[in-house]
Amino acid sequence: SQLKMREALTKALAASSDEDWSSGTIPFQSTREECVATGAALLAAVSHGRLTTVVTEQRRDGKQRAKGKPGVAVQNSSCSAVGVRYNYFGDERADKWSDVRTIFDFDRRVPAGPYAIDFSAAECAAISANDGKDMEEDALVDASKQLSGAKHIPVREEAALGLRVQIVQRLERGGPWIKVGDVMKPLTMTKESEDDEDDTKKEIDAEPFACESSVLELSVNPVGMLTNAFISDGQSVVQATKSARNSAIRYYVGIVLAILFFGGFMVKSYMEEKIFDRDVERVLAFYKHAAPGSISDGDERNARWLVYKYKGKKDKLWRRLEAKYGVPVRHSWEWEDDGEVDVEAEETNLDKGDDDDASATDNSKPAEGEEPDL
């Protein structure tokens, strides 16, 4: 019956048109007569739960339980293949198409996708320079990086404007590829400009410009319908180059600022530690020459406590020590050529008031203008 229907359809098409509708040009798909009935019965049985099986699954609490599920899992599959082919030379070499790249092959479960295909002006320029031939992934990446600079903008614009994409479909295994839809330009966008004439008429001209990158998404729905969509940020090649340059500048500036910020804290901590150790040595050297043999002579803990207590007020500490012992406070290396000063001074506490400081000096000059304690 299906063969008779095929002959009848061929005759009807040939009678209604002047084109050649011979049987070899029409992709007829034939199945057994009981195929549809068997499939409908199987779907009905599964949907009504009459073809079930029992499986054991583990619950969240760790216990096992039996659960029924359909005995047959029915899922649609694609009865055709979908692919794409490219032309990198535009209208100049309109017949220079690449080999078809299969995206969804026969017997692919549907729905399928979306399958994303990335396009970039740099890759198009690299492949165009290679006469449209496919390149290894590593070689393509290296060539794209070489063509991604600002000086190669004209080359990338020409390659982007020349890119053409055609979606094709194969209905029979080993059969020819059939075009689906029109030829697409994924890296070419149009910009509308309005010109006012006499404030009454506006002429809108579509100006094409090259886009730096875009994404083509292909999908097949459960009934086999093919859909596609383009995704792009709309940036031209020049705008994308400027954005990439600005992003790189911001990246390196951020790294430099982070290094300066955290490095500044490290340098500050290092310098404060060095200054602290220097002042401790200065206090120890002072006691060694101004009050040798006293409790404070060689007492590093006392020297560190004094330097810590007078942090940010070192001048006040030096003035109080000079007023107490009558000896100028020098750095540790400034005492090398001077002999030790024989001063028998009574050990006092610098944390006391001005009266205690004045009475604690022995054989020293009176302290004039001494600063009060904190």
Question: What percent of the chain clears pLDDT 90, i.e. is strictly above it?
Answer: 0
Distances 149 to 187, 194, 271, 309 between C-alpha atoms, Å: 18, 32, 44, 60
pLDDT value at residue 197: 47
Report how far residue 235's alpha carbon sits from residue 189's, in angstroms, rounded to the nearest whole number: 9
279 contacts: CB under 8 Å, gap ≥ 6: 307, 314
For tokens 């399958």, name the residue: 115
Report how far residue 135's alpha carbon sits from residue 129's, in angstroms, rounded to the nearest whole number: 11
Cβ atoms of residues 367 and 358 within 8 Å:
yes
Question: What percent of the chain clears pLDDT 70, i.e. is strictly above it?
Answer: 75
pLDDT (tens digit per residue) in 14-67: 777 666 655 455 666 666 677 778 878 877 777 776 766 777 878 788 788 877
**Is it the case that residue 117 has pLDDT exceeding 80?**
yes
Neighbouring C-alpha atoms within 13 Å toward the C-beta of 371? 15
**Is it the case that residue 227 has pLDDT exceeding 70?**
yes
Mean pLDDT of 209-238: 80
Report how far residue 187's alpha carbon sits from residue 320's, in angstroms, rounded to the nearest whole number: 80
**Is it the case that residue 114 has pLDDT exceeding 80?**
yes
Higher per-residue confidence, 158 vs 2: 158
pLDDT value at residue 370: 41
Angle at which helices 237-290 and 314-325 cross, to 10°: 10
Indicate whether this model's pTM tops 0.75: no
For tokens 């299906």, name the residue: 2
pLDDT band at 216 (very low <50, low <70, confident <90, very high): confident
pLDDT band at 252 (very low <50, low <70, confident <90, very high): confident
Report how far residue 165's alpha carbon sits from residue 150's, in angstroms, rounded to the nearest whole number: 26
pLDDT value at residue 161: 84
**Is it the case that residue 144 has pLDDT exceeding 70?**
yes
Report how far residue 244's alpha carbon sits from residue 231's, in angstroms, rounded to the nearest whole number: 19
The angle subtended at Cα 360 by Cα 354 and Cα 365, nearest 5°, is 85
Beta strand pairing call for 164-170 and 64-70:
unpaired
Across the chain, how many H-helices and E-strands are there?
9, 11
pLDDT value at residue 240: 64
pLDDT band at 202 (very low <50, low <70, confident <90, very high): very low
pLDDT value at residue 39: 78
| Average pLDDT score, the chain | 76
**Is it the case that residue 118 has pLDDT exceeding 60?**
yes
pLDDT value at residue 325: 85
Query: Of 15-19, 345-349, 370-374, where does mean pLDDT reach its minimum?
Result: 370-374
Mean pLDDT of 229-254: 75
Cβ atoms of residues 359 and 369 within 8 Å:
no
Higher per-residue confidence, 9 vs 271: 271
pLDDT (tens digit per residue) in 179-195: 888 888 888 877 654 44
Residue 167, SS3? strand
Higher per-residue confidence, 76 vs 139: 139
